[in-house]
Structure 1
Amino acid sequence: MKKSLEDKKVEQILKSYYEDKINIQAYNSKLSYYNQYKNMISNNEHGKEIQNIKGKIAEMNFKNKYLEQIIINLTLDEQKYIELKYKKNFSVIEIQDKMFIKERTYYRLRKKVINHLKKLLLQVD
């Protein structure tokens, strides 16, 4: 099945969303480390880096808030498909097995999700 350029763009946005979520977890971990050992670490030395990390987290959260709301409002099957495909990087066969669906249903679901997200994210009719 051939993917259009717009489909690929939507898929890239979804992949980027989950990469940002992983980065946010890493940044939060680093901040908690700083907080845990703040009495041993000179605040002047790392204060700028801490502010920088907080800024990056806020920026990523702001950038992804709209997509997050869209995903929350999808059906449970659509959410599960997105999670398996873009968060966990499962193959078509693995997704079919996990969701107990046939190949035709998989592609129908994929098309429905991509077209819906295309309309909302790329403002395409």
Structure 2
Amino acid sequence: QGYQGLVDGGDHIKEATWESVSMMLQLGGTVIGSARCQDFRTREGRLRAAQNLVKRGITNLCVIGGDGSLTGADTFRAEWSGLLADLLRAGGITAEEAQRSSSLNIVGMVGSIDND
């Protein structure tokens, strides 16, 4: 759920296709889940999230949330090239993966229950 899914990786990261999300229009509540993520507040957590995205070839990220979520997205964007460099140096990703993922596109949408 939320950034924790990026940090944990594995089955927590799923592609959103038209077929997988079109039914959400009729549902109320938070279908995709909502959670605060302490891990993502640390560079180590963001490093794991970056590695999980790179390994899956994901270069586009949509963040829906309030101040904390959008601040987290901005921090992730600002650190992206440094995270890739650290992963490459440590052998966590290949040079080819780093090149393919050299740019991270983020769309931030306000969706806050805190009214912030």
TM-score, structure 2 normalization = 0.30
Q: Which has the higher contact order (CA 8 A, sep 6+)?
A: 1
Which structure's residues are more often strand, by fraction?
2
